[in-house]
Amino acid sequence: MNPFNINEAVETIEAAADDLLDTGARLMTLGGDHTIALPLLRSVARKHGPVALLHFDAHLDTWDTYFGAEYTHGTPFRRAVEEGVLDTSALSHVGIRGPLYGKQDITDDEKMGFGIVTSADVYRRGADEVADQLRQRIGDRPLYISIDIDCLDPAHAPGTGTPRPAA
């Protein structure tokens, strides 16, 4: 994999995921940033059709561009919606508390079909109520779960590159 060429890296990840899924295995990845989510979602959707997404993160990761680039750790889920690899009736962000470029970020997420559960929502409503809401939203659809380390308060995950203290 070429870490200096995003497009080549994305293609390499996608091809490796396709090869793995072709064996009948299930896909589970650990590590990496959210740049890897798009090629993995493409591969999973080829096998199962559009999938539900349960995204634990401090940030939305649905920006149109990040520092002018379309394919980064801050844009994978927008690209996945645009490409039709996500089931837009079953998309959820959980733990959101990071910065926004602007109010348009929230509006765009709503248009894409995302439900947003902030860290404050979990605190106020409780984990059991939030989990029940997520189960209802996802149903029995094929599901892709993505957990970004910055979903945790940096007091518990000090190595994250984009630390956001818990609200």
pLDDT digits (tens, 9 = 90+) for 46-82: 999 999 999 999 889 999 998 899 999 999 999 999 9
pLDDT band per the 50, 70, 90 thresholds, residue 167: low
DSSP at 25: P
Structure-model confidence comparison of residues 156 and 97, the more confident one? 97
Report how far apart, in Å, the C-alpha atoms of 85 and of each of 71, 77, 140, 147, 151 are: 15, 9, 17, 18, 24
Domain ranges in the chain? 50-151
Taking a C-beta distance cutoff of 8 angstroms, is the pair 91, 99 a contact?
A: no
Question: Per-residue b/e over 22-36, b at no fewer than 16 CB within 10 Å?
Answer: eeeeeeeeeeeebbb
pTM of the model: 0.89
Over residues 79-133, the pLDDT tens digits come to 999 999 999 999 999 999 877 878 899 999 999 999 999 989 999 999 999 999 9
Q: Report DSSP state, residue 118.
A: E
